[in-house]
Amino acid sequence: MTRTLSPLFRPLSIRSLELPNRIVMSPMTRSHSPGGVPGADVAEYYRRRAAGGTGLIITEGTAIEHATAVDNPLVPRMYGDDALEGWQRVVDAVHAEGGRIIPQLWHVGPLWGAMTHGDVDPALTPMKPSGVWGKPGVTSYSEDYVAQATQPCRAMTDEDIADTITAYTQAARNAREVGFDGIALHGGHGYLLDSFLWDSTNQRDDEWGGDLERRTRYPSAVVASIRNAIGDDAPIFFRFSQHKQQDYTAQIAQSPDELKTILTALVDAGVDVFDASIRRFDAPVFDGSDLSLAGWAKKLTGVTSMAVGSVGIGASLRESMAAGSAPAEDNIPELERRLSADEFDLAAIGRLHLADPTLATTLREGSDLPEFDRAAHATDLI
């Protein structure tokens, strides 16, 4: 039974971005770009998803030009002629298949060192708003790593803040110059933009911290600077989350009103789409409502929102990492129900896109969902 009439296959326009369907490939770190340069294998990897019918591809996190943006030399960067030439080949390959693609710009902030492949320069200071890693809670990090990471360092200076805003902005310019169809920012999971929103990592008492409104100013400044640099044509996506890698039970907003304060500031700065990251796309967020995180984002701001988290899979990412695999779960009808009700507008799917490059076609045809096997699907670019 096909899903041709499914809300997943309704077109959608966001500024100049014309999408043929609501299926998005969620950003996933792949670590296959030696020296930060995406090669032919990366171009082919993304091309296959575009050929398979995915409406929009959001790339893996890409480093902005800052010394502590990422700590893995296999993560691609969005600066330097060699890396930009690589991205040009990626964009051209996706566009040749009729696909659309935007990059996720990334600075890991307080979590610098967590993904290290080799030594990091001890002379470099991680970018932490207040020099703290955040209060650890439920986390997948080892006790030894947490003990090391929670050692305080200096807080970010005004110069650090200005430098990182400039780096984000230049990366966005670079992305548009090589033909990307928009910009995505990683503002969740405890990374740099998110660390200004979370009160456990932002304990500043200046214009960049204090009450919730002031904690929104840094990510809003990044968005506004990018919007000014790229103009009004292309959309800006912003990933946010309640949970942090330091603590999966953490929250940046204790109530809908607090979430509205955060998201409204980002919309005013220029965000078009909220990528609401949560472990299960249909999980309720606040007591008294079954609305998802993406649903709340749309209800509170009126802008386009995107749900992500265990679509078609019966285990969260953290659970599948522990088990090594994740069974298929046909929760697509629930996803479609919420799309039909306009609770949210887009469905970002991660692990199933690794298991099946033609996932959009699989969904359209109503075929059996693939099963995600970490050993088979998460290591190589298939």
**Annotated catalytic sites, by residue?**
191
148: number of Cβ within 10 Å? 12
Where would I find the H helices in 185-245? Answer: 192-197, 212-215, 217-230
Cβ(218)–Cβ(193) below 8 Å: yes
- Say how far apart CA 157 and CA 291 lie, in whole Å: 39
DSSP string, 21-43: SSEEEPP------GGG---HHHH
* CA Rg value for the chain: 19
User: Minimal CA–CA distance to 324: which of 271, 376, 250?
Assistant: 376
User: Minimal CA–CA distance to 252: which of 292, 294, 207, 200?
Assistant: 200
- Say how far apart CA 267 and CA 57 lie, in whole Å: 22
Tokens in use for 93?
């390959």
The values of phi and psi at residue 276, to 5°, are -90, 100
353: number of Cβ within 10 Å? 27
User: Minimal CA–CA distance to 338: which of 286, 382, 297, 287?
Assistant: 297
Tokens 């200076």, residue?
A: 157
- Say how far apart CA 316 and CA 39 lie, in whole Å: 30
The total number of residues written for the chain in this structure? 382
Tokens in use for 329?
């779960």
Three-class SS state of 215: helix
Identity (one letter) of the amino acid at 343? E
Tokens 């490059």, residue?
A: 357
